[in-house]
């Protein structure tokens, strides 16, 4: 059973999900069609990226879903590998969410690449161990396979074998996550991504997004099925609530370091980018998205959630945090590229800042990736609940 802890709760097969699944499938197809059109006419004609700003908004869902999958794997391992019984009822759900989140992330980066088949073919035929990108794509592909086997053995009831695959997936995805900033910093040696705290930042944000994602989709599952959470799932919300509060405070410390870097060059290795983020054109993103939506509003909602017992407020705080994290990743990806490579030399005729604006194709491809993730979640609700109901009837 995937989304229920008790067979008695499975009295609704979820047929009301057919319509939203069909709509999300349509949006996914539209996003893919825009990607196919971009392949024919050329990315340089339909993307907002340039030679100076080669990475656009499409990297945001890739990083978001990859970090979400990483964090969910960590939370899943707490119940599956390390034996924390309180989180055990959520293991099946977290494994499934980790799989579809990583699939959505790989789909997003696949749509962004101008020749996606080259990555699939030559990563095997001509591997380059000196390439960070090769390691990242290989690690994420390995992680996806390990989690798929983990999920399969969980469904078969072979928990010991599943635990071995879960441990392997945890090691692989942790290595990939800690090295994420190195991939970004290689792009023209952008100092914005080379801060010393970035590996810990990515790991913290990944775990926070996982806590929020699990809470949100657990609540969404109960809301879609028009039922209340069972006692075991409610008990699992308590440690997630506490962990979310701690991680929000930790993210607040990272945000404070950014703010200090924006006002004083003593606190940053990249003062120009930090000023652009904190006091420049991206100030609205920083203060509203990274501070209010990601930290302050969730903390306020959690304070009124009765210690996490009010699941509706808990889910709303989680949604706000996830939106704020998405804005954080967008700023992280774009702002560092807008600082010219040789700005410190005051070259004549050199732009003070590069510019970037997402195109319609990029927006629609993001819609496709997000729709694919939501469609997979709803399909899981429909298929596995129906299978569990059929199994219960046979008994």
> DSSP string spanning 332-360?
HHHHGGGS-TTGGG--TT--SS------H
Cβ(322)–Cβ(97) below 8 Å? no
- Length in residues, the chain: 395
- pLDDT per position as a tens digit, 67-116: 999 899 888 888 787 877 788 778 888 899 999 999 999 888 888 887 77
Assign 9 a pLDDT band (cuts: 50, 70, 90): very low
- pLDDT per position as a tens digit, 124-142: 777 777 777 777 778 888 8
Q: How much is the pLDDT for 192?
A: 61
- Average pLDDT for 358-374: 94
Q: Report helix angle 59-80 to 311-335, nearest 10.
A: 130
Range scoring the smallest mean pLDDT among 28-42, 73-87, 201-215: 73-87
Q: How much is the pLDDT for 262?
A: 82
- Average pLDDT for 182-192: 57
> Who has greater pLDDT, 44 or 197?
44
Q: How much is the pLDDT for 127?
A: 75
Rounded to an integer, what distance in angstroms lies between the CA atom of residue 141 and that of residue 143? 5
Cα-to-chain-centroid distance, residue 267: 28
- pLDDT per position as a tens digit, 214-244: 999 988 888 887 777 777 778 888 888 999 9
- Largest CA-CA distance found in the chain, in angstroms, rounded: 80
Range scoring the smallest mean pLDDT among 13-17, 57-61, 286-290: 13-17
Q: How much is the pLDDT for 7?
A: 35
Does residue 387 have a pLDDT over 50? yes
Q: Which residues contact 311 (CB under 8 A, 6 or more apart)?
A: 215, 219, 222, 229, 234, 237
Range scoring the smallest mean pLDDT among 38-52, 87-101, 133-147, 323-337: 133-147
> Who has greater pLDDT, 270 or 183?
270
Rounded to an integer, what distance in angstroms lies between the CA atom of residue 254 and that of residue 122? 38
Model confidence pTM above 0.85: yes
Assign 184 a pLDDT band (cuts: 50, 70, 90): low
Q: For residue 268, which of 330, 339, 192, 211 has the smallest C-alpha distance?
A: 192
Assign 29 a pLDDT band (cuts: 50, 70, 90): very high
- Average pLDDT for 196-201: 77
Tell me, which fold does domain 20-341+350-374 have in CATH? Formate dehydrogenase/DMSO reductase fold (1.20.1630)
Rounded to an integer, what distance in angstroms lies between the CA atom of residue 195 and that of residue 181? 9
Q: How much is the pLDDT for 35?
A: 92
Query: Coil, strand, or helix at residue 32?
Result: helix
- pLDDT per position as a tens digit, 300-309: 999 988 877 7
Rounded to an integer, what distance in angstroms lies between the CA atom of residue 196 and that of residue 181? 10
Q: How much is the pLDDT for 251?
A: 93
> pLDDT exceeding 70 applies to what percent of the chain?
84
Does residue 4 have a pLDDT over 50? no
Does residue 288 have a pLDDT over 50? yes
Give the count of beta carbons closer than 10 Å to the beta carbon of residue 231: 11
> Who has greater pLDDT, 382 or 181?
382
Q: How much is the pLDDT for 139?
A: 82
Range scoring the smallest mean pLDDT among 35-44, 83-92, 233-242, 319-328: 83-92
Average model confidence (pLDDT) across the chain: 82
Q: How much is the pLDDT for 111?
A: 84
Range scoring the smallest mean pLDDT among 143-157, 209-223, 238-252, 317-331: 143-157
Assign 173 a pLDDT band (cuts: 50, 70, 90): confident
Does residue 8 have a pLDDT over 90? no
Assign 191 a pLDDT band (cuts: 50, 70, 90): low
Does residue 117 have a pLDDT over 80? no
Q: How much is the pLDDT for 15?
A: 58
């Amino acid at each position: 059973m995937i989304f229920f802890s008790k067979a008695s709760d499975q009295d609704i097969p979820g047929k009301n999900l057919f319509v939203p699944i069909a709509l999300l499938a349509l949006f996914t197809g539209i996003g893919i069609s825009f990607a196919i059109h971009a392949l024919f006419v050329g990315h340089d004609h339909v993307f907002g990226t340039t030679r100076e700003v080669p990475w656009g908004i499409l990297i945001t869902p890739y990083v978001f879903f990859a970090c979400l999958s990483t964090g969910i794997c960590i939370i899943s391992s707490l119940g599956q590998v390390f034996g924390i019984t309180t989180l055990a009822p959520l293991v099946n759900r977290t494994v499934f969410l980790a799989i579809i989140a990583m699939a959505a992330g790989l789909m997003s980066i696949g749509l962004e690449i101008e020749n996606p088949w080259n990555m699939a073919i030559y990563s095997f035929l001509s591997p380059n161990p000196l390439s960070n990108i090769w390691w990242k794509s290989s690690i994420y592909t390995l992680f996806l396979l390990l989690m798929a086997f983990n999920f399969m053995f969980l469904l078969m009831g072979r928990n010991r074998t599943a635990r071995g695959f879960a441990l392997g997936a945890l090691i692989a995805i942790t290595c990939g996550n800690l090295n994420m900033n190195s991939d970004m910093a290689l792009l023209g040696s952008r100092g914005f991504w080379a801060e010393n705290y970035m590996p810990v930042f990515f790991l913290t944000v990944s775990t926070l997004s996982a806590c929020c994602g699990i809470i949100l989709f657990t609540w969404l599952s109960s809301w879609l099925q028009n039922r209340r959470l069972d006692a075991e799932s409610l008990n699992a919300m308590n440690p997630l609530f506490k962990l979310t509060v701690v991680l929000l405070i930790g993210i607040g410390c990272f945000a404070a370091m950014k703010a200090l870097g924006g006002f004083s060059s003593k606190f940053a290795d990249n003062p120009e980018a930090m000023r652009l983020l904190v006091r420049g054109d991206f100030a609205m993103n920083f203060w509203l998205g990274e501070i209010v939506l990601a930290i302050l509003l969730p903390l306020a909602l959690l304070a009124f959630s009765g210690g996490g017992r009010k699941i509706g407020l808990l889910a709303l705080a989680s949604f706000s945090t996830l939106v704020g994290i998405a804005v954080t990743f967008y700023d992280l990806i774009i702002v560092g590229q807008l600082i010219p490579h040789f700005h410190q030399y005051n070259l004549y005729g050199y732009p003070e800042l590069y510019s970037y604006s997402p195109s319609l194709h990029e927006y629609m491809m993001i819609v496709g990736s997000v729709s694919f993730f939501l469609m997979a979640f709803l399909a899981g609700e429909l298929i596995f609940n129906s299978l569990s109901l059929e199994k219960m009837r046979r008994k």
